[in-house]
């Protein structure tokens, strides 16, 4: 065989080999990606029961899942187009069966990933790197939320659990200061609170999960958190303990209060969000250095349940002191009005 004929044969063979391997890639790629996605999103690490503090959680990274999902969609579309073309061109029942299998089974792998991410895996809602260098993660799984400390970040996110809130209705209303970018929230969509992001207080003490919510029956837009961590004391507060905290823990002495948060706090009455009703907490806030906070505290004390004699006695004593001795005339006026309202509700109940 002459050199020219051998070169021509080799030249013709190269495109043929490329086409053959390209066809194999188109056929195999969606199955490979689907299998990899199922493996990647399979729940692993502190799955059930809810992890305790110190547990290690291995979570799929949302960016990886999104990228792989796009690759899967593109490969699946190319696969279906190629297989259907082959089936029609060759009039082959086997190719039609292969097309049907790809049409049904590959999307099922995608659905598995969706359900696994929603119900089985701990998904990463938000992350926050604080001044001390620690990176916190807000993890979500079904009805549970967790605050975790980042251990490593590779193909998987590896975190150590700080605390878990396993009550989907365990949110606590907070009041934000106005004009602070780190506390900014989107408008709520109604119903349960809309998760937003983790934030660190400006005094570097608190790490909170911020969510926007809407109160009812009077719709007021407010702010709530279901994960709160005291970095100074190393104390995590779950839904049973959130009521022991001040709803003004993000507010500093010179701040103005976010009007919507105050209105929502005063309205109360939300299925998922509890307001501050602990008179002992409010009595401590009655001496808050911010006069706007003290004025709101007076209004909250006026809502003390009139049937609880001990709380009514404490609220009355605090309001009397505020009305008589507070340095701000606006607070004294608010306290006098709140005191009159509390006494009126107690008298009406006694009748």
Phi, psi of 277 (to 5 degrees): -125, 5
CATH number of the 277-345 domain:
1.25.10
How far is it, in rounded angstroms, from Cα 249 to Cα 289? 12
Residues facing 221 on adjacent strands = 214
Phi, psi of 204 (to 5 degrees): 65, 20
Helix (H) or strand (E) holding 99: helix 93-115
pLDDT in tens, 254-286: 999 999 999 999 987 688 999 998 999 999 999
Tokens for 220?
């007021």
How far is it, in rounded angstroms, from Cα 26 to Cα 303? 68
Phi, psi of 50 (to 5 degrees): -55, 135
How far is it, in rounded angstroms, from Cα 16 to Cα 14? 5
Contact 90, 104 (CB under 8 A): no
Tokens for 51?
């992890």
How far is it, in rounded angstroms, from Cα 308 to Cα 47? 42
Other beta carbons less than 10 A from residue 269's beta carbon: 12
Q: What 3-state DSSP class applies to 128?
A: strand
Residues of the chain with pLDDT under 70: 1-14, 16-19, 45-49, 117-119, 269, 351
Sequence-ordered strand ranges (E) for the chain: 56-60, 123-129, 135-141, 144-153, 156-165, 171-174, 194-200, 206-214, 221-225, 228-230, 235-237, 273-274
pLDDT of 13 reads 53
pLDDT of 32 reads 87
How far is it, in rounded angstroms, from Cα 30 to Cα 107? 10
How far is it, in rounded angstroms, from Cα 155 to Cα 40? 9
Q: What 3-state DSSP class applies to 200?
A: strand
How far is it, in rounded angstroms, from Cα 91 to Cα 333? 88
Contact 141, 120 (CB under 8 A): yes
Cα 114 → chain centroid: 17
Contact 60, 41 (CB under 8 A): yes
Q: b/e per residue, 140-159, with b = 16+ CB within 10 A? A: bbeebbbbbebeeeeebbbb
Tokens for 153?
């970040």
For tokens 């188109």, the residue is 26
Contact 244, 278 (CB under 8 A): yes
Residues facing 174 on adjacent strands = 223
DSSP-assigned letter for residue 257: B
How far is it, in rounded angstroms, from Cα 285 to Cα 82? 69
Q: Map out the domains of the chain as residue ranges.
A: 19-166, 167-275, 277-345
Taken as a whole, the chain contains a residue count of 351
pTM of the full structure: 0.81
């Amino acid at each position: 065989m002459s050199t020219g004929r051998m070169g021509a044969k080799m030249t013709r063979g190269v495109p043929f080999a490329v086409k053959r391997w390209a066809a194999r890639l188109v056929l195999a790629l969606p199955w490979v990606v689907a299998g990899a996605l199922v493996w990647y999103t399979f729940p692993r690490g502190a799955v059930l029961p809810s992890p305790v503090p110190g547990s290690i959680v291995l979570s799929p990274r949302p960016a990886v899942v999104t990228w792989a999902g796009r690759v899967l969609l593109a490969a699946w579309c190319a696969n279906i187009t190629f297989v259907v073309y082959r089936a029609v061109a060759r009039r082959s029942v086997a190719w039609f069966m292969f097309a049907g299998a790809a049409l049904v089974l590959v999307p099922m792998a995608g659905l598995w990933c969706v359900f696994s991410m929603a119900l089985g895996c701990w998904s990463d809602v938000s992350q926050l790197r604080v001044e001390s260098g620690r990176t916190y993660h807000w993890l979500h799984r079904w009805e549970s939320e967790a605050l975790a400390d980042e251990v490593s970040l590779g193909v998987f996110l590896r975190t150590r659990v700080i605390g878990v809130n396993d009550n989907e209705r365990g949110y606590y209303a907070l009041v934000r200061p106005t004009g602070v970018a780190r506390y900014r929230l989107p408008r709520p969509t109604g119903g349960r609170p809309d998760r937003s992001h983790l934030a660190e207080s400006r005094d570097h003490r608190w790490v909170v999960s911020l969510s926007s919510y809407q109160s009812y029956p009077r719709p007021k837009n407010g702010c709530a958190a279901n994960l709160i961590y005291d970095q100074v004391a190393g104390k995590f507060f779950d839904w049973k303990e959130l009521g022991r905290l001040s709803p003004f823990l993000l507010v500093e002495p010179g701040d103005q209060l976010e009007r919507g948060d105050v209105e929502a706090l005063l309205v109360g009455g939300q299925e998922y969000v509890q307001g501050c009703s602990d008179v002992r907490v409010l009595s401590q806030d009655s001496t808050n250095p911010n006069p706007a906070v003290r004025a709101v505290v007076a209004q909250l004390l006026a809502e003390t349940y009139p049937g609880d004699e001990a709380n009514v006695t404490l609220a009355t004593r605090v309001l009397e002191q505020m009305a008589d001795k507070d340095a701000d005339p606006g607070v004294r006026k608010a306290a006098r009005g709140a005191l009159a309202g509390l006494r009126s509700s107690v008298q009406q109940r006694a009748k």
